[in-house]
């Protein structure tokens, strides 16, 4: 699995640019205020020094958050700007780090056991082997763990927005719903990965299921699943049409359509 920095402690000289990239994604018009700032609290970190929030996942958690906010296309960039501008109460950083912890603990990638709501039981060998198969199909330039993280965080963001829209409660009160949302997400992750082993699927169908619906048992070919996944991606628009420079998942779905990440015998 491509998971650079798991459990690694933050080092200013080595990892400082990650904080600068995150700041630029959140505050493109403001100068970087450094490692310690109250602005990090607005993004959902629990402390003014965000490096103290990295928990057992280490720098890898920060890398995944930076990727979501700055390198995952329109959706992540939009979410971080809304949060930083105070237009959304979604605790982006805390949720992202917890999703990273869920993935790493479930796939057995952590050197030390995780604790809290982000700690999931280690997956079975069959689930890990299926994940490994998909990672090999992706090649060295893409990370399955990053792609899953992106879909799960988008799912959380959608659920949070729906919760806010249907409630008159203050953001501080809504925070009490976070553990329940995360527990549901953990159950969804583990059951979906197990289902992908019981009924082997292609990458696009798996990512679609993690983002939204249960895994399709029949009726959705991998071609249709890839199309459905692309339909849920708000790609940038150029001249009234979707541009070709969409998020990484557009590339992945195209690879699925070409058969690069499909199990033998499908489509």
Nearest Cα neighbor of 150 from 196, 210, 192, 109 is 210
Residue 73 confidence (pLDDT): 56
For 41-73, what is each residue's pLDDT tens digit? 999 999 999 999 997 799 999 999 999 998 545
Residue 127 confidence (pLDDT): 96
Residue 23 confidence (pLDDT): 95
**102 to 108, 123, 126, 182: CA distances (angstroms):** 10, 11, 18, 9
d(CA 41, CA 189): 28
Quote the Cα angle for 251-61-54, to 5°: 170
Segments making up each domain of the chain, as ranges: 12-198
**209 to 36, 151, 192: CA distances (angstroms):** 38, 9, 7
d(CA 89, CA 176): 13
**226 to 30, 81, 124: CA distances (angstroms):** 38, 28, 27
DSSP character string of 129-157: HHHHHHHHHH-SS--HHHHHHHHHHHHHH
Q: Using 70 as the pLDDT threshold, list the residues of the chain that sit under it.
A: 1-2, 71-73, 168-172, 213-267
For 126-156, what is each residue's pLDDT tens digit? 999 999 999 998 888 889 999 999 999 999 9
Q: Which residues pair with 58 in a beta bridge?
A: 6
d(CA 266, CA 88): 41
Reduced to 3 states (helix: H, G, I; strand: E, B; else coil), residue 49 is: coil
d(CA 129, CA 118): 22
Residue 267 confidence (pLDDT): 46
d(CA 106, CA 185): 12
Residue 162 confidence (pLDDT): 85
Helix runs in 27-122, H state only = 39-42, 59-70, 74-84, 92-106
């Amino acid at each position: 699995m491509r998971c650079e920095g798991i459990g690694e402690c933050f080092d200013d000289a080595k990892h400082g640019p990650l904080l600068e990239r995150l700041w630029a994604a959140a505050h493109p018009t403001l100068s970087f205020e450094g490692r310690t700032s109250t602005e990090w609290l607005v993004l959902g970190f629990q402390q003014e020094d965000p490096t103290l929030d990295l928990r057992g996942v280490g720098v890898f958690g920060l890398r995944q958050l930076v990727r979501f906010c700055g390198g995952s296309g329109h959706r992540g960039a939009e979410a971080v700007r809304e949060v930083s501008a105070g237009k959304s109460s979604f605790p982006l950083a805390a949720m992202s780090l917890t999703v990273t912890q869920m993935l790493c603990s479930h796939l057995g990638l952590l050197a030390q056991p995780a604790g809290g709501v982000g700690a999931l039981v280690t997956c079975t060998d069959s689930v890990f082997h299926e994940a490994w198969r998909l990672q090999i199909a992706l090649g060295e330039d893409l990370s399955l763990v990053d792609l899953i993280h992106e879909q799960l965080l988008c799912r959380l963001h959608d659920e949070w927005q729906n919760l806010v829209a249907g409630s008159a409660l203050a953001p501080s009160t809504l925070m009490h719903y976070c553990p329940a949302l995360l527990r549901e997400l953990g159950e969804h992750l583990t059951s979906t990965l197990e289902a992908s082993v019981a009924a082997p699927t292609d990458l696009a169908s798996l990512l679609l299921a993690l983002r939204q619906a249960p895994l399709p048992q029949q009726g959705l070919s991998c071609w249709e699943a890839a199309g459905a996944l692309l339909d849920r991606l708000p790609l940038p628009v150029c001249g009234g049409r979707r541009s070709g420079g969409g998020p990484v998942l557009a590339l992945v779905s195209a690879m699925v359509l070409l058969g690069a990440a499909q199990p033998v015998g499908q489509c």
